[in-house]
Amino acid sequence: MTRIDAKFAALKAEGKKGFVAYVMAGDPDYDRSLELVRGLPGAGVDVIELGLPFTDPMADGETIQLAGQRALEAGMTLNRTLQMVRDFRTGDDTTPIVLMGYYNPIYSHGVDKFLEEAREAGIDGLIIVDLPPEEDEELCIPAQKAGLNFIRLATPTTDDKRLPKVLQNTSGFVYYVSITGITGAAAAQATDVGPEVARIKAGTDLPVIVGFGIRTPETAESIASVADGCVVGSAIVGAMAEGKPVSEVLAFVKSLADGAHRA
């Protein structure tokens, strides 16, 4: 059982919904980014999604693209991202961390080497947005053999024929993308999301967590009420981009987490 599995089992036992926060590793610099990540559990975050900066983030909207650029310009690399996880783990050995990004940096690093180092650093799961189920032998299967969850995205365009393929080797949780398009675009609507979550849950026992289009505590509460939890990314990354003190960003994160936990 991974930390992710244990966290969602504990939330279920408490009758609570989960709150997942996405932040970009190294944005705007290593020290401020690490300060933010270290503060997330105290702000009510159940699972941390750590973005791996990449030069061509095709699924991301402008807010997260710019965050990745700032991180890369500040010297962030895959190795430094793994070091950030190690630094976090010196004070927190329980909060799950999911590394979210693209396959190219992992492929360049070497899959076997990456998986060994990721596991050693304290990463619990992967979301690699540009690897479809047809490529499971590339990373998904090796990751699961190494003890890491491989979390798959389902979208409004994932029809009933495609869904079983998407769910086939997924573990940890299913990430349902509430809107078509890129991150940070439109606002998620619980009336649209609810039936889709039910459709996914008919095909899996895994928790279904909803992301994209959640920017306020009220939306976090409404979306979490029809799922097992929600993810917020662009709104948090945007708050960091405005140059706000980390303490202020964490207060905003806490308001979102409180919203999800009220559901």
Which residues are the active-site residues? 49, 60
| CA angle, 34 then 9 then 192, to 5° | 85
DSSP string, 103-126: HHHHHHH-HHHHHHHHHHHT--EE
- Residues in CB range of 231: below 8 A, 6 or more apart: 20, 21, 22, 49, 175, 209, 210, 211, 212, 214
83-97 CB burial, b ≥16 within 10 A, e <16:
bbbeebbeeeeebbb
Element (H, E) at 69: helix 62-73
